[in-house]
Structure 1
Amino acid sequence: MLNVLRPVVTRVLTPLGRALASRGVSPDVITAIGALGVVASALVFYPAGHLFAGSLVITFFVLADLLDGVLARLTGKPSTWGAFLDSTLDRLGDAAIFSGLILYFVLKDEPEIVLAAVALFCLAAGALVSYAKARAEGLGMEANVGIAERGERIAVILVAAGLSGLGVPYILAAGLWLLAAASGVTVVQRMVHVYRQAVVR
């Protein structure tokens, strides 16, 4: 769903990409900076309870996930290694975001264990969503289906956490439960999709 916004964001980031390309900045450097920024922000801001500030800073670094692609196209240096690095560090960033929220729930004066467990489920289900697609492609099939791809998952959790940090009640819990359900459905959708391809073969 959020893929429709990608061309717009790409156009916005293109001037910055040109400036970086003119200075010889590698797309891999942008990928690494973005991932490290997400990890550090999530593990510093969220456990401390700074949900709004954390979500803003994480969003800034998440944009590097698009900027590295823009830079790679402008420099004519898209590579298999770059794609692998980007996907691998995406998983690291996702893990940091949900780990930060889990720590936030556990470290509160009155720990919210249920929500910590839901966040843990979201982390595991999100990893399964990505793994199902990667494994299918490794077997010569595709699994690019589902209602909760990575972009949607990250958008939901960042918006929910950010609004919660602004004092909107129950929004973070609602976002986590919604995300848990959507991620679980997406895992099943991808499994069914791959099964149908395998049976046809």
Structure 2
Amino acid sequence: MLNVHARKHVNRVADPIGRWLVARGVGPDTVTVVGTLGTIVAALWFMPRGQFLAGTFVVALFVLFDLIDGAMARAGATGGTPFGAILDSACDRLADAALFGGLIWWSFVVAGDRATGVAALICLVTGQLVSYIKARAEGVGVEVDGGIVERAERLVLALLGTGLTGFGVPYALPVALWLLAAGSLWTMVQRLWSARRNSRAKPPVSLDPGETGP
């Protein structure tokens, strides 16, 4: 949802930066990798230690690289490449896993907060599945509509929870994660229903014996 409604406003800021970097010979894939590595290191360093305020700001900074690499792809002479799209998607999954993995570790190991840990675990699993359902459906030629919680919403809610917790707001993180868990589960259902609806006019897909996924 945020991806649709906020894209024009975000692009006004990201596009000039993207053009500036392209003009200096920087490739979008480089920015993708740097942003992902920065997010992973920051998430796994700050979040398991409970350093949520610093972690929120550093992770948010590196997450912005994901906006810039898209702007760079649009600014390039040939646009984005197929490999760039695959790399970007894979890096998104790694960054999300690091963020929620760090929160899971803090919840279970450091804070002993099983309820928050379960919420973070649900967010991790459902976040990966929401993206997988869309990718798998498109792989067999079925269009899947969005949903109430896509990647932008996942990051905003998770970082809002960690940031407010860093400022001392009580229960901010568990509330944010449980809201996100519920929204992600609902988005899974939305995407599966969309895939079922849109696949009715498609011919059957044959799978090799024993094949269960891509």
TM over 0.5: yes
Aligned to 1:47: 48
Corresponding residue number in structure 1 for 2:107: 105
Q: TM-score, normalised by structure 1?
A: 0.95
Partner of 2:2: 2
Distance in structure 1 (CA, Å) of the matches to 2:6 and 2:71:
14
**1:121-174 deviations in Å (ceiling 9; x for gaps):** 110011110011001101101112211111111111011111111101111111
1:76 CA drift (Å) = 2.1
Please list every run of 5 or more consecutive structure 1 residues that lacks an aligned counterpart in the other structure.
none
C-alpha distance in 2, partners of 1:168/1:18? 39
TM-fit CA distance, 1:42: 0.3
* 2:47–2:55 contact (8 Å) kept in structure 1: yes
Return the alpha-carbon distance in structure 2 between the equivalents of residues 172 and 160 of structure 1.
Answer: 4
How many percent identity over aligned positions?
48
- Cα-Cα RMSD: 1.2
Q: Map 1:110-189; keep pairs closer than 5 Å.
A: 110-189=111-190
Cα drift, residue 2 of structure 1: 1.0
Q: How far did 1:19 drift?
A: 2.1
- The equivalent residue for 1:28 is 29
- In the TM superposition, residue 72 of structure 1 has moved relative to its aligned partner by 1.3
Counterpart residue number, 2:39: 38
The C-alpha deviation readout for 1:62-87, integer Å capped at 9, x for no partner, is: 11111001111112241000000000
Higher helix share: 1
Shift of 1:200: 3.9
Q: Greater CA deviation, 143-152 or 43-52? A: 143-152
Deviation at 1:114, TM superposition (A): 2.1
Q: Report the CA distance between 1:18 and its aligned residue.
A: 2.3
Q: CA deviation at 1:23?
A: 1.3
Tell me the number of residue pairs that the alignment of Structure 1 and Structure 2 aligns. 200
Alpha-carbon distance between aligned partners in 1 of 2:20 and 2:187, rounded to the nearest angstrom: 38
Are 2:19 and 2:75, in contact at CA under 8 Å, matched by a contact in 1? yes
Find out whether 1:64 has 2:65 as its counterpart.
yes
In structure 2, the residue matched to 1:95 is 97
Distance (whole Å) between structure 1 residues aligned to residue 7 and residue 43 of structure 2: 24
CA contact (8 A) 2:144 2:198 kept: no
Runs of 4+ in structure 1 over 4 Å off = none
Corresponding letter in the other structure for 1:2 = L
Structure 2 CA distance, aligned partners of 1:95 and 1:144? 23
Counterpart Cα distance in 2 of 1:67 and 1:79? 15
